[in-house]
Structure 1
């Protein structure tokens, strides 16, 4: 529950934008493991990692100054798909960082990597396929959001092979429409 409150605050009262921050620049969110984050085995529950990633993605958008721009248009982000890999456990009281970075985009989705580290050690990695929706229910093309943020000119960087394969496997990657 406390991570939900943290997400609500990160979204409704975002931290200040970082001057000169671009969409391809990483964003770092620092956290500490709380009692409510733990499962029966006394390490962070796998579902809590996803809530922590929600907070870090809100901070990424805040660093870009994106909230006011998105709100003006009635656009908001949603997760289309996610995958996680875990290497080490996080336990009560430990400090850690989540580094969020945009890997690239296609006409449908933006692909983000979120890496958890503790004292410089890799803990976990999440990959997110995110979309933007409009309040009227329509989908907003990812390139339109990148253009709105105005911090990158040109095409998307090439996605890492593992992310491209994952996006195709789970069905979130853009598919060219067949000729009619």
Structure 2
């Protein structure tokens, strides 16, 4: 099964919510490296990591019981930016564990870390800045999403490396005077 089909299934028929799961608790997705994941050099293609991360983020939302809440509001997630660091190659048949966790948010963006491990060994780390959009395309303020998912609207402090990354990429909050209006 292609990763795109897997993402469609994970989002259309999400796994069951984990009772009591909070927005700041990690979510774990387990998979194996498949033949279609490999590039010419017989290790996971860099683009496939991003597809695996999409699936893992859908599982994070499922664990939180977010899909019915988001559907009710007409909100959906999109990636504003991502960055990857690769440490070790993943090869055919190897087990992969992707741990996804929300690190915090500002007025516009939710920041996540997604870590790939093989038998406990760090293989890759991804940072994702995600937004939520409404049906008409308006940007949903990230604190509103946090509240919908049962969290306090005030974010925990971002780790220094993530805050610096967000500032460098200009995905962090801007005031309306700087040309960004949420609705």
RMSD: 1.2
Residues 147 and 153, structure 2, Cα contact 8 Å, conserved in 1: no
Relative to the length of structure 1, the TM-score reads 0.96
167-176 vs 56-65, which moves further? 167-176
- Tell me if 1:10 matches 2:3: no
Aligned residues: 178
Residues 56 and 98, structure 2, Cα contact 8 Å, conserved in 1: yes
Residues 108 and 173, structure 2, Cα contact 8 Å, conserved in 1: yes
Measured after TM superposition, the shift of residue 155 of structure 1 is 1.5
Listed as ranges, the matches of 1:145-156 within 5 Å are 145-150=145-150, 152-153=151-152, 155-156=154-155
Listed as ranges, the matches of 1:56-95 within 5 Å are 56-95=56-95
Relative to the length of structure 2, the TM-score reads 0.95
Gaps of 5+ in 2: 179-183
Distance 1:64 1:73 in 2: 16
Residues 134 and 140, structure 2, Cα contact 8 Å, conserved in 1: yes
Instruction: Provide runs of 4+ in structure 1 moved above 2 Å.
Output: 175-179
Distance 1:35 1:136 in 2: 39
Residues 79-131 of structure 1, C-alpha deviations (whole Å, 9 max, x = no match): 00000000000000000100000000000000000000011100000000000
Q: Secondary structure at the match of 1:39?
A: coil
Q: Secondary structure at the match of 2:91?
A: coil
Gaps of 5+ in 1: none
